Structure 1
Amino acid sequence: MSGVEEVRLNLGHIELAAHLFGPQQGIPVIALHGWLDNANTFARLAPRLHGLRIVALDLAGHGYSDHRPVGAGYALWDYAHDVLRVAEQLGWQRFALLGHSLGAIISVILAGALPERVTRLALIDGVIPPGAGPQDTAERMGMALQAQLRQGGKGKTVYPTLELAVQARMQGMVAVTREAAELLAQRGLMPVPGGYTWRSDSRLTLPSPLRMSEEQALTFVRRIACPTQLVVAADGMLARNTPLLEQLPFKLEQLPGGHHLHLNDESGASLVADCFNRFFAIS
């Protein structure tokens, strides 16, 4: 990709990789990808956004970023802490957030927890984490602890060829196009004896020991003080959740496409870019 700079950010507790897009004096934006994806999720979108200085992170445990130490987990608040450390490293007291899926959820958590730090929120098909009823909290914790114990001896899937690894990503929990899978594979795959495996930390697939209720999660939404634009993918994860969408005090725009509409093809990337360019241009 032309005009993209690769950097590593040492945050003290972890080192993260990132792509830099846009003019140095542009509006500061930290971009956060979805679960098991990486910074290349913004490879089609970021070059189409005008006047923004975008730092697209590989979140901890993803892409070229470090994995968390043995015994540590991947809680939403830990990701939010990482983002604050990145902002500190860059000297950004205030910044915008661009997030897809898990990245959108982290963005909402951070902007609700510290509303004074975030200038704008641009969200793609993600808002709050999946909720849980209070009655199953103890049971969920038990399942998660058991899964952590079992994780130790598990090896990762090795694909004999790049093609098979790309096909596996195309048919993942959320299907993506071949082009999208190939872009994610550029940062996500590594050679190992016998073929290729995904770089992502296998602990990312463990169940969360603790989930917020929807009511708790919505407290973050209500504290957000900055302009917020949410792109809802017509065939994505949010479109059918009308009760949630009706509660959101955000600007909503529904666009055609699946959950990765900004990455799946050029036309989807253009539509999302048009929406966000209008949003960031409003003074």
Structure 2
Amino acid sequence: MLREREIQLSHLRLSGLEFGQESHANVTLLFLHGWLDNAASFTPILETLELTAQQKNWHLLSIDLAGHGLSQHRSADNFYPFHDYIADIHELLTNIAPNKCILIGHSLGALIASCYSAAFPDKVQGLIQIEGLGPLSESADSSVERLRKGVLSRQRIQAKPTRRYKSQYDACLHRMHANQLTAKQLMPLIERGTYLDDGHWHWRYDAKLKCQSIYRMTEEQSLAYLQAIEFPNLLILGDRGFPQLTNAVMRKAALKHCHEVTVSGGHHCHIESSTQVSDLIATFVDKNSRKCDLNN
């Protein structure tokens, strides 16, 4: 059965959902969710994998990224720059010290996982990206306007009143429209990601997460991260997901040892096709964790 887990970093507390224990497990599967989602994004997959994890001695850990779900918000003067997530993951993995680790990221989580895998290959034995393929990029010509819009968005978000709902189901309806998912598919996310205060339901995530980035890499920089990933990796895309991922020929060519699979679903295909995605993850982990054992 899944249980809650809290991990104290030097600067904030991360929360998550867990099955097994890293110190006794052959391998830790670390799940990283997407922007404005939370650890429960992977609940159907975690529940499907529980029996396999028990049989094969795997540790499953899905965390709420900083400012999401039950994890602590960053300080008032911090606007969640992308690279800070990578530093969080490094401190997390340093603290829990798994025997082996495979990163599984969806959307923003895939961006974080790919960059971490490139920078710290000694900490990771495998990478699975779901509806994400390396860090976001744009042309250098956009840098000045990116900075301007990013700074202005910080002022706008801080002045904007937070959204509230009459019921938890109203919050669910909002996400159903935005993500094209059913209430049943979304409820684990909604239950973990909302709270009741003064008769209204509110999102738990930090409103500052909606601020625009003040910096993005160039495509050349993004490709350098993907080219640096030397170990096996799996790319899972939805057949109704983001078309720019399907058409990212240069990025796919930059990835060595990558296997691509398309499943039914949109950007949250890991929720819509959770059983198939669970099977893909289990096969990948089983194959590559055994390969690591043979190499040691």
Asked if Structure 1 and Structure 2 have the same fold, meaning a TM-score greater than 0.5 normalized by the shorter chain, the answer is: yes
1:272 aligns with 2:285: no
Q: Which moved more, 1:21-30 or 1:151-160?
A: 21-30
Tell me how far 1:197 sits from its aligned partner.
1.0
Q: Which residue of 2 aligns with 1:86?
A: 92
1:109 aligns with 2:154: no
Kept after mapping to 1: 8 A contact 2:28/2:101:
yes
1:9 aligns with 2:15: no
Q: Which residue of 2 aligns with 1:262?
A: 270
Counterpart Cα distance in 1 of 2:174 and 2:218? 32
Deviations 1:123-170 (A, max 9, x none): 211112332111110111011111112322222101111111100011
Q: Which moved more, 1:85-94 or 1:240-249?
A: 240-249
Q: Identity of paired residues, percent?
A: 30
Deviations 1:217-271 (A, max 9, x none): 111111112210111111112234445434433111111211112213xxx1111
Q: Which residue of 2 aligns with 1:159?
A: 165
Q: Which residue of 1 aligns with 2:294?
A: none
Q: How does 1:52-71 map to 2 (within 5 A)?
A: 52-71=58-77
Q: Partner letter of residue 284 of structure 2? A: F
1:137 aligns with 2:135: no
CA 76–116 in structure 1, closer or farther in 2 if over 3 Å, else same: same
Task: Give unmatched runs, 5+ long, in structure 2.
Answer: 292-296
1:179 aligns with 2:179: no
Q: Secondary structure at the match of 1:258?
A: coil
Q: Which residue of 2 aligns with 1:217?
A: 222
Q: Which residue of 2 aligns with 1:253?
A: 261
Kept after mapping to 1: 8 A contact 2:229/2:255:
no
Q: Which residue of 2 aligns with 1:33?
A: 33
Over the aligned positions, Cα root-mean-square deviation in angstroms equals 1.6
Kept after mapping to 2: 8 A contact 1:159/1:194:
no
Q: Which moved more, 1:161-170 or 1:147-156?
A: 147-156
Tell me how far 1:178 sits from its aligned partner.
1.6
Q: Which residue of 2 aligns with 1:196?
A: 201
Deviations 1:150-194 (A, max 9, x none): 32222210111111110001112x322222221100110011224
The size of the alignment, in residue pairs, is: 277
Kept after mapping to 1: 8 A contact 2:235/2:260:
yes
Q: Which residue of 1 aligns with 2:246?
A: 239
Q: Partner letter of residue 44 of structure 1? A: P
Deviations 1:201-231 (A, max 9, x none): 1111111000111221111111112210111
Task: Tell me the TM-score normalised to structure 1 length.
Answer: 0.92
Counterpart Cα distance in 2 of 1:194 and 1:153? 23
Q: Partner letter of residue 31 of structure 2? A: A
Q: Which moved more, 1:236-245 or 1:147-156?
A: 236-245
Kept after mapping to 2: 8 A contact 1:87/1:93:
no
Q: Secondary structure at the match of 1:229?
A: strand
CA 151–213 in structure 1, closer or farther in 2 if over 3 Å, else same: same
Counterpart Cα distance in 2 of 1:81 and 1:93? 20
Task: Give unmatched runs, 5+ long, in structure 1.
Answer: none
Deviations 1:9-53 (A, max 9, x none): 110200010111246524112110011000001101123233321
Q: Which residue of 1 aligns with 2:78?
A: 72
